[in-house]
Structure 1
């Protein structure tokens, strides 16, 4: 608790010091809240749990000129039901170069800047709830027809009690008319602790998903309509004597249809089970949704957008999961509200 309070005062001190350098100071604050209840009682691959909390993330933007800026802030998490005032403090501090459609970012920055659209094949929902930032760098291109990013996230520094882990990732999308193609990929490096008591091999987990599809949004009587299909690949390697890669492949499809404030989103995976070493390393090694451990898996999200504006969004989801020959359900309510100098937003 004392460390969290000290961290808040440090950030406030940084903000106060920046105020003295220039009059071109912008600010923004995001408050976001989540309530996620999953009913997976009989599943062998995913656990039932209820997650809830609220994030407060104030930031100060020091704009040097039209190209260069520095952002300093903090993300404060309070979990529902907790006795603590602040349950987790995550610092935000990064440099950004932005010229036209190109951006370069380095430091501790928001995960959503590069991973917002990654499917749950790569990142389970709780990653966004409890790990809002990345630590590393990113190259981002945001063109009209072509979008993409290349990023590094140093997730954990090696010590006598913590492993060395990091991601190198890429995502890209090309759209021409109603046709689009997408790729999401990352490699996760998972090493051991310093001077381990027992030998543990270094692990690499590589995931890639390539899809093509059609976006008919606005061209039919409904507002949102898109369909895509492609190939998902998971590769696992334990660097022992042979260091052979273990491949897990499957077909991946997505369908979304929506009218005004209601809609449905469906994702389907048909293929071999992912996460080969999950029984040993659990979610330390794998950051994707554990349901992909079972192989064939379908998720249907029925959603209501109570509010969907540039500065505020409130969304309710009722999700049905078909896995292991069973039907499971999940309820999620999310809120996000932004205030501040919108000209400084990413």
Structure 2
């Protein structure tokens, strides 16, 4: 689940993800039940001078709780700083995400958050911008623990089901 509450240009945003991976009834001895909780709570400031310009700054905490039954000694807790700055002008954008602190165990999603320090810079192209359909190309550069550089690409096409 996620949510966002806004007061003028200030906002609070949250995300919560809960996974319980029990496997099938006839699981092998190597398969263990996994319990995983991830959350983020961030406060931010949004500057939107025109419809074609959007600037955001936000920072907060990223947390996780993980347990692999019969393997880990109870729950493993981790928290870290999560900060993001983004700029979008017309059909192009630039975003930087910083994660610094303890590494997290998430059962799905970006594996770079398992590290203590991770910085990602995205170059974005919004190639479809319609009322119910959006399309985005994302070129990401990943700086891993301040020394190793990696990159990835992603294409997203999203259809929003009208509520009226």
TM-score of the two chains, using structure 1 as the length reference = 0.42
Which stretches of structure 1, 4 residues or longer, exceed 6 Å deviation after superposition?
none
Corresponding residue to 2:38 among 207, 214, 221: 207
Corresponding position of 2:121: 300
Partner of 1:287: 108
Match of 1:249 among 30, 54, 79: 79
- Residue 313 (structure 1) aligned with residue 144 (structure 2): no
Partner of 1:273: 103
Offset from partner CA, 1:118-151 (integer Å, 9 cap, x none):
xxxxxxxxxxxxxxxxxxxxxxxxxxxxxxxxxx
Shift of 1:265: 1.4
Other-structure match for 2:162? 345
Q: 1:322 to 1:198 in 2, by over 3 A?
A: same
Distance 1:239 1:224, change over 3 A: same
| CA distance in structure 1 between the aligned counterparts of 2:159 and 2:4, rounded to whole angstroms | 27
Distance in structure 2 (CA, Å) of the matches to 1:336 and 1:309: 10
CA RMSD of the aligned region, Å?
Answer: 2.7
How many residue pairs are counted as aligned between the two chains? 162
Counting helix residues as a fraction of each chain, which structure ranks higher?
1
Give the alignment partner of residue 225 of structure 1, picking from 34, 51, 55.
55
* Deviations, residues 48-91 of structure 1 (Å, cap 9, x unaligned): xxxxxxxxxxxxxxxxxxxxxxxxxxxxxxxxxxxxxxxxxxxx
**What's the counterpart of residue 148 of structure 2?**
326
Higher Cα Rg, which structure: 1
Once the 2 structures are TM-superposed, how far is the Cα of residue 315 of structure 1 from its aligned partner? 2.6
Q: Say which structure is richer in strand.
A: 2
SS at match of 1:292: helix
1:236 aligns with 2:58: no
5+ long unaligned stretches in structure 1:
1-169, 276-284, 339-343
Which TM-score applies when normalising by structure 2? 0.83
Gaps of 5+ in 2: none
Q: Residues 260, 188 of structure 1: CA spacing in aligned structure 2 closer, same or farther, 3 A cutoff? A: same
Separation in structure 1 between the aligned mates of residue 130 and residue 44 of structure 2, nearest angstrom: 26
Preserved contact between residue 132 and residue 162 of structure 2 (Cα < 8 Å): no
